Amino acid sequence: MIMINELSRLLAVNGYLPHGFCINWSPLLIWTYVISDILIFLAYFSMPMALVYFARRRKDFPYRWLLWAFATFIMACGATHLMGAIVLWYPLYGLDAALKAFTALISVATAVILWPLIPQALKLPSPGQLKRVNEELQTVNTALLAEKARQEELIRKLAEAHSQLLQSEKMASIGQLAAGVAHEINNPIGFVNSNLGTLQHYMVDLFKTLSAYEQSEGEMSTETRGVLTKLKQQMDLTYLRDDTNNLLSESIEGLQRVKRIVQDLKDFSHVDETGKQYANLEQGLDSTLNVVWNELKYKAEVVKEYGGIPEIECIPSQLNQVFMNLLTNAAQAIEAHGKITLRTGHNGENVWVEVEDTGKGIQPEHLDRIFEPFFTTKPVGTGTGLGLSLSYGIVQQHGGRIEVSSEVGKGSVFRVVLPQHASPAQSSATSA
């Protein structure tokens, strides 16, 4: 009841005159007041809306409550201007006074809140400072990105070196195993071969003695000759004499082949040869060919076109590894049955070894990447992508290069070009 009475008092006219009487209802003044107050009211009401929208969207803003205080103060100011237009015709001075009092309270409260915040606001960075900090952050970020790229490149090179080291150690282990097997096989082959040779001589002497007995059969009794003839027929002596000689000859020939394979394994491994020496690449190519022959013989016909190249200064075991990679790649590139051609030649300063296949060839977009570590076009699980990369590194350490030409559907040609004599720098690099 009391609130209703107070509201009635605020809205009561009490005989007051409208504000228009004070200006004699001058149309120019009336409309100037009205238009100005309404425009100010609309502007004051739009400002809080903007502040409220900002406060709701930027929940991280530290002074959101201050924005709400400003919004209330500005809306109160706008309401007083609206009342200024109303009292021109309706003398609601009580309500106008109440709004002004409310606006005064809000204004004072906002001012009291605002002044202590001024020192904190002055500590906030200026746009120029923020720009400089942002530029510094961008510079640091660019440096970090560059460092990250450098670290990634170092990690990639480390992984490449690690993989190549593992591959080299694997090949060294294979070479040591091959040398060990060759050494262990070589001894029994030696005495078996010697025993077979001796046995062949014994059999020759035995058959000579037997022939001498056969020539003396005329001096024997009829009964004795009959027994011997029957025995020779049972033993098939004529066939036995011929076949024994053939068996011994074939066994000796087989042992010679085993000896050649063992020698090729020793030549391929070169375990005891860690430094550079003069070697014949054609002999190394032949040794390597015999080592991988089992992989080639069902896939391709191998044609040799050797040019009688001179010996070069190199590490034979490393170059044999290059030849092995090229030969196995050539065989794997042939899908059915094809031809692998081995060529050699020299031009005075350099020698070259060429491996050509009639396989499926290399796609043009892959030619620039075939020497990259881990790059392979083979199915998953059939290649590591390190063979050609390792070969490229070995040839580079020898001061040479690998040239490649390929045509899809017709085949590829890999040419290894090497200097006849290594420079001191190359010698130290390869030895290391």
Residue-wise pLDDT for 370-398, tens only, equals 877 766 766 555 555 667 888 888 898 88
The mean of the pLDDT values for the chain is 79
8 A C-beta contact, residue 68 and residue 110: no
* pLDDT for the residue numbered 343: 94
Angle between helix axes 222-235 and 237-269 (nearest 10 degrees) is 40
State the burial class of residue 323 (Cβ atoms within 10 Å of its Cβ: 0-12, 13-18, 19+). Answer: buried
| Assigned CATH class of 273-431 | alpha beta
Distance CA 286, CA 300 (A): 16
Q: What is the chain's length?
A: 432
Distance CA 278, CA 267 (A): 13
Question: What residue segments make up the domains of the chain, in order of their start?
Answer: 2-123, 162-266, 273-431
* pLDDT for the residue numbered 384: 55
* pLDDT for the residue numbered 303: 93
- C-alpha R_g of the chain: 52
Q: What pLDDT digit, counting tens, does each position of 78-111 carry?
A: 888 888 888 888 888 888 888 888 888 988 888 8
pLDDT of 345 > 90? The answer is yes
Judged by average pLDDT, the poorest of 58-72, 114-128, 162-176, 356-370 is 162-176
Distance CA 291, CA 78 (A): 99
* pLDDT for the residue numbered 357: 93
* pLDDT for the residue numbered 302: 92
Phi, psi dihedral angles at 411 (to 5 degrees): 130, -175
pLDDT band at residue 163 using 50, 70 and 90 as cut-offs: low
pLDDT band at residue 207 using 50, 70 and 90 as cut-offs: confident
Quickly tell me which residue has 């002004």 as its tokens.
Answer: 100
DSSP 8-state class, residue 300: E
Largest CA distance in the chain: 182
Judged by average pLDDT, the poorest of 116-125, 242-251, 304-313, 423-432 is 423-432
pLDDT band at residue 246 using 50, 70 and 90 as cut-offs: confident
Distance CA 421, CA 279 (A): 11
State the burial class of residue 290 (Cβ atoms within 10 Å of its Cβ: 0-12, 13-18, 19+). Answer: middle
Distance CA 52, CA 117 (A): 20
* pLDDT for the residue numbered 432: 47
Region 336-365 average pLDDT: 90
Phi, psi dihedral angles at 248 (to 5 degrees): -65, -40
* pLDDT for the residue numbered 306: 93
Distance CA 179, CA 264 (A): 10
Across 164-168, 175-179, 197-201, which has the greatest mean pLDDT? 197-201
DSSP 8-state class, residue 408: T
3-state DSSP call for residue 88?
Answer: coil
CA angle centred on 19, ends 18 and 23, rounded to 5°: 125
pLDDT band at residue 173 using 50, 70 and 90 as cut-offs: low
The reported pTM is 0.46
* pLDDT for the residue numbered 112: 86
Give the residue from 403, 424, 404, 399 showing the smallest Cα distance to 319.
Answer: 399
Distance CA 427, CA 423 (A): 6
* pLDDT for the residue numbered 214: 72
Phi, psi dihedral angles at 280 (to 5 degrees): -95, 115
* pLDDT for the residue numbered 6: 55
User: What is the full DSSP assignment across 148-203?
Assistant: HHHHHHHHHHHHHHHHHHHHHHHHHHHHHHHHHHHHHHHHHHHHHHHHHHHHHHHH
